[in-house]
A and B are shown apart, each in its own frame.
Chain A
């Protein structure tokens, strides 16, 4: 059975629903405190998938995810690098996404380059304060990029095939809840690289936080490491949909889009790093 490690710390608060997402998707989740992992970094080798949950790690003091990211970078990069090279799928949701970006795991090295030894890739993107200046909780319409290699959003793309295709647009919403979710990059070259490599795996149709390129989620060039501001783990059941009471019963069958993302990744985890031709060329 695929094993998933959920890494928590003080202030993590979406760990239970992330655990449940993996469980429903057919994996065996384990929850571990960051301090324990820092003390025993070899434990990372025991897992097939890594999850970085949402919340307010260390209170989001200084900035969202800052201290969590600093500790991962300073203490655990070697192990994370090894896992990334091994093709271990990783997901960072909300605070977890903010963390992965600040560690340098996202967007990750340019195509064709290895994960660097020693220090992680330089931070090239950031999740800045929402354009409107305040925390916002709502559901937004999203669109998965069919050209992306992202193994997580593949579950969403498949959603548009088959019998539910007609209702898919209505169902393809995800909840957001954040104050700092505005995706920005260091300069235009970074954005061009992300576009070219199809690393922008998920975009907002309702760009409420003002993200550059309406970016909701980003993956590394392998498509296995993925971070997003919306919370797919809060959409595991049809009753989570913001107006499910209006949707016909027949539409509310099978996996929700949220669960489909985890299912796709759990299935991909067993299969090793894909070598598909979806990326045109390296930058």
Chain B
């Protein structure tokens, strides 16, 4: 039995100094002002606050040394003062102190520790905390505690004290026996197998547990604890996408989409089932799909490649999808979700989501340089739940954080990680629906650039397994299996160990070192690399060593603190770690680079068949201090998972419409305003103020979207720097004029029965999302024949056949849309268990959500255009198929639960969900791109959330300044259409473009048979008018409505 010797350090007898740093009296304290505002939003009587940074230094320091640390390091001599010890609490003041729990990543403490070593030449231990001195009439200790819980601390990672608190000594890791454990699995009954899976947090299905049991029966022994954990991590939904790869029997058990057809056969469906690869239509009318992912999303890409599309370089096989950028460079792209961690600790969850996706890009091929980030959030509407204490609105389900806090914190997490890494965050979206209350969605995307001769790596037998970056701790244990599990009310307690806190600067150092190693000539210093994400070393080494086998010596991993078991070392998801395959001969040079970049390097073992491996099936062997603690065949690890069979059903939107209102509707309180409205003006203003449509400047401005100096079309455009750009454009290669446009498409409403009712169809939703991503890219000048897309499915539990049925329909649409638009999917990710189960058994399912992210090549950024209206006198032209269906639109949202008003009665309108025309949609995109490229278009904007009138309003808001407003008069002419539908439908493939009158003949000629109509003219009035329908509304009023909602 190996004895643990690393954890025997005796408890330190060194003194712990407490140093407080606070703003000097009279100096502004913006952080304190935020605390007062937060208290006000919670109706807590805090009139003033003072913030103090607290540092604990455990060392043997003399007076001059303490003075030196205070003056030279901790306090700013102009604005701050430092003192030793806890300042006394002033009468009438309440104190809150917030300290990280032991073992939680504390990046500031790490930096202070290094800085003191540099300053004084001595090693010390450091911890940090924050102190808040609060004052206010009638402020009680309970008030202070409530503020701490709701705004200042998260008790999952921090401890709150209601008085100044200092540790007597720093906690030490406890020794761990690390005794080799076997887990009894042979002979277990089915009930006991299931119990074992749940109790050990394995989250393996009964079939999978049976497969494991059979393997060990064959081997004649029980598995060790680490073997079972390795299987659970590798076989998790998060890591292998088993639902998307399963065999699915799909049945239309209703009347076809929208319930319009009379027959229950597939023929009545808008989705055509015949001729799909990997699909078998059964005599009974059901469809059997073998490996959904391969038969839909990936099949489209492979068919396009076969059909001559030659610019994808690496699809679905690496950490990110890779496409050609120019002759020398490739770009890669990945979008991940980090939903469950963000529900529990939004700041850390979102930050590590961003960090993980960035590492995916770094770990693509032989390493890419991250050059842009994206982020999309789906959260509950903050106003639905009132203040956390005030009791207004619905009550927040127990265990859930307030949505305002979630949104603020996920934004802060993405901001701090991206900004610190020096990666511009250039694109995003926010979608509000109260069913995200306990399960918010946090999508983090990253785009990288790499030389074309570095797009593929290959691990060679004999390469060393080298870990770079952060140390391994107990943080993030079970993240992979946690993300595959459903959230329950108790999750915050049960899975607090799954929460990780990021340290962006550690990752920046790792990036600097890896890029230097990559750019060594003639060859990179490593032959392959990947990041430690879900599953930690177990997934990284298991994946990289799939063909070579691997021997890992777990005691070699540098640890944050003593006391980890070998299993914890193996599956820890501690952040900022990468695994490299390094030929022996290169180790010394790599070590020197890492030393220069202050990156820790550890050799964990070798990629090679461990002695005793079967021929042709190398093992993964795990050792701890010389003893073998685990051994698995790579083949069983990667191929032993049984292919599940799943049932999927679809009954149109009707079933879901009656059931999904549990836990709140998709309608937020702001929507109800329209019910008092009497006019089109108010309808428009309500739409512009709808949180999905309203300006996101509060978020965008917190992100550095300019770092690297290559952002040529920014997220906010126009002379007032406030127009919502359809896409951003960056220059991946600074010396080249070639650009990359980045955008997304999200059309949740069209697939959501709570909004679109019986017409809701994830098939139509998905087509529209792909179309929207394409339109956004085209609107800034991207070439539609060079657009690559990604899918991110976030669904409620797909163990439920109805949910899997809607997932199938979305996946089929991916296939159809990708082929029609010739936009290959190059990567993707799914998260298929997004729901919250409350203690009373109620389940709140999220609406099925598909994010489509698109990147498109711009051949010369100088030909890019923006969506802000440019010049009075110019003509507005609506291009694309005429739409009318209001299903899933924001107009439908704002009238959905009302009785109707004179101007807008839902009963009179076509509420069907519009269908993307897969022939005209792509043709329109090509035509619009053509007229933009030939310089005929002054501005372009897609018609999406809010419809035509909202799109034109946004163009006017974007093009106006207070001194120089641009207005417009629209005249839709005598068309035989419902005027409401014309103004507010969100039907796909529609663009509004601005054209100089003289260019109209050329435009008409260039558009040819593509439907288009002149709909109005820009003028200098500063008003928006719709002839015969809407009297003048000042653009200033439109702007006010649009800016106000999320101006936090």
Contact = CB atoms under 8 A, between A and B. Distances in A.
Contacts of A26: none
A158 interface: no
Interface string B692-708: 00000000111111111
Interface in B576-634: 596-598
Given A137-B706, A243-B868, A67 B701 contact: no
Interface in B79-118: 79, 107-108, 110-112, 114-115, 118
B139 interface: no
Contacts of B939: 245
A60 B713 CA distance: 29
Nearest to B72: A70
A17 B702 contact: no
B419 interface: yes
Contact of B111 (A58, A102, A125, A234): A58
B111 A62 contact: yes
A56 B419 contact: yes
Interface size range of chain A in the complex: 35 or more
Contact of B78 (A186, A236, A246): A186
Interface in B387-422: 415, 419-422
A132 B469 CA distance: 35
Given A62-B115, A66-B73, A137-B702, A10 B509 contact: yes
Contact of A135 (B115, B419, B721): B419
B704 A177 contact: yes
Contacts of B708: 14, 16-17
Contacts of B719: 243, 246
Given A71-B118, A122-B77, A240-B712, A231 B422 contact: no
Interface size range of chain B in the complex: 35 or more
Given A10-B505, A66-B73, A243-B866, A56 B706 contact: no
A124 interface: yes
A133 B30 contact: yes
A213 to B, nearest CB: 15
A257 interface: no
A240 B862 CA distance: 11
A63 interface: yes
A45 interface: no
A64 B721 CA distance: 27
B861 A239 contact: yes
B717 A243 contact: yes
A102 B503 CA distance: 24
B734 interface: yes
A232 B701 CA distance: 19
Interface in B672-726: 700-709, 711-714, 717-719, 721
Interface in A15-69: 16-17, 20, 33, 35-36, 54-56, 58-63, 66-67
B742 to A, nearest CB: 16
A67 B598 CA distance: 15
A162 to B, nearest CB: 23
Contacts of A185: 78
B701 A137 contact: yes
Contacts of B72: 70, 73-74
Nearest to B76: A126
Given A243-B718, A243-B721, A59 B107 contact: yes
A207 interface: no
A35 B599 CA distance: 13
Contacts of B512: 10
A136 interface: yes
Nearest to A210: B28
Contacts of A231: 706, 709
Interface string A74-98: 1000000000000000000000000
Nearest to A53: B422
B519 to A, nearest CB: 13
A268 interface: no
A220 B419 CA distance: 29
Given A239-B861, A243-B866, A234 B76 contact: no
Contacts of A33: 596-597
Contacts of B864: 239, 245
B168 interface: no
A129 interface: yes
B812 to A, nearest CB: 39
Interface centre among A73, A74, A239 (most CB of B within 10 A): A239
24 contacts: A12-B422, A13-B707, A16-B708, A17-B734, A56-B419, A59-B504, A61-B107, A61-B111, A63-B76, A70-B73, A71-B115, A71-B118, A73-B72, A123-B76, A126-B78, A128-B27, A128-B76, A131-B28, A133-B31, A234-B706, A234-B709, A239-B862, A245-B717, A245-B866
Given A137-B705, A245-B939, 7 more contacts: A58-B115, A71-B118, A123-B78, A128-B27, A135-B415, A184-B78, A245-B713
